[in-house]
Amino acid sequence: MNFKKLIEVRIEDLSFGIDIDKPSWYIYVEKKKDYCDLSNEECLIAAVKVLELEPKRFYDSIFSLFSEDSSRIAQSFPIKQLISFCINNQMDYWLRVGIRWLSYIEIGDDLRSLLTFVVNSKGYPQDIRHGLLRFLHKK
């Protein structure tokens, strides 16, 4: 991989690399002293902290950095995969803070189906199920 093409972006205490040609997102993993490709599911664990950020602040940061192609770059951030990863790995805390991101993204059929699964599953905390139910009824 040619990391010379990556544009480095720091949002709060998270460092990202963005290949704006594709666009592809990478997160810098301090422990490895290297970037991890967020299209690789194994790297998503390193990115769950982004869910603690305010979505508006995150997207405003992207829009301020990339005036020309900001919408395409912002929409390419793998937030759907991150939320799906939290559901599939029953990461309740991260899913709880990730709910607020849902209003900032297009919800496709796959994610809607997964969210509905959580709502109907007693294995998830009630506050998460009810939060998702409220969100799904708005959409």
pLDDT tens per residue across span 34-86? 899 999 999 999 999 999 999 999 998 888 888 777 888 888 999 999 999 99
Average pLDDT of 90-116?
Answer: 95
Distance (Å, rounded) from C-alpha 137 to C-alpha 36? 36
Domain housing 44: 3-138
Which DSSP state fits 6? P
Rounded CA gap, 11 and 38, in Å?
A: 16
- In DSSP terms, 18 is beta-bridged to 7, 25
Taking the chain, what is the end-to-end CA distance rounded to the nearest angstrom?
39
Order across the sheet with 14-19: list the strands.
Answer: 7-11, 14-19, 24-29, 34-37
